Amino acid sequence: MNPQKIVIAMPTEDEFMPSISRWGHEYVWTKKEVYFVHVIRKDVYVSDMGVDETLSKDEQKNMKQHALDFIKNKASEMMPLSVLKKAHFEVIIAKSPADRLAEYAKEINAGMIVIATRNKRGFAGLFLSSFADRILKLSPCDVLVLRPK
C-alpha cells in the first residue's frame, strides 16, 4: 500500500458532496496523489438471444464522457487547486462498482479509499449502505467513510 495514493469514490448525488468537500479542504495534501474515480454500474440482461448489455458501446462512451466532465467539475469545488493540478480522473463501467473500485485501488497500489455514505440506520440502512459495506469488505487498503453532518 502506498499511503501517498488516495482514491476518492466520486458519487453523482449532490447529498454526498458536502462531506467530501469538507474533508477535502481540511485534509493535509502534502505529497499526496489523488485519484477521483466514478464507477458506473453495467447492467446486463438475459433474453432468448443470449446475454446483452443495456447500453450500446456508443452510449457507454457518451455516458463515460458526461460522467468524467461531471466529476472534474465537482472535484474543482471540493479540493484545493494544488490537489487538482496533479489529480487523476477515471470513469469505469463495471457490473459491480464496489468490486471494481476495490480492484482499481489494488491496481494502483492505493493507501486509502475515501467514500461518502448516507448514514442510514435501521431498515432503510439495510438496503442503502451496501456500497460502503462492500468496499469495507473488499478493500486492499484503509477506507475512510465520510458521513453527512
Distances from the Cα of 126 to the Cα of 2, 28, 116, angstroms: 32, 34, 16
**138/149 Cα distance (integer angstroms):** 26
**What 3-state DSSP class applies to 24?**
helix
Neighbours of 48 (CB within 10 A): 4
Whole-model pTM? 0.84
Phi-psi region of 31 (alpha: psi -120 to 50; beta: other; left: phi over 0): left
Predicted local distance difference test score (pLDDT) of residue 125 = 53
Q: Which residues of the chain have pLDDT under 70?
A: 1, 44-54, 119-129
Minimal CA–CA distance to 6: which of 90, 127, 111, 101?
111
Distances from the Cα of 79 to the Cα of 3, 15, 50, 65, 85, angstroms: 18, 17, 45, 21, 10
Query: What superfamily would CATH give domain 2-146?
Result: HUPs (3.40.50.620)
Predicted local distance difference test score (pLDDT) of residue 129 = 56
Provide the 8-state DSSP code for 68: H
Predicted local distance difference test score (pLDDT) of residue 135 = 94
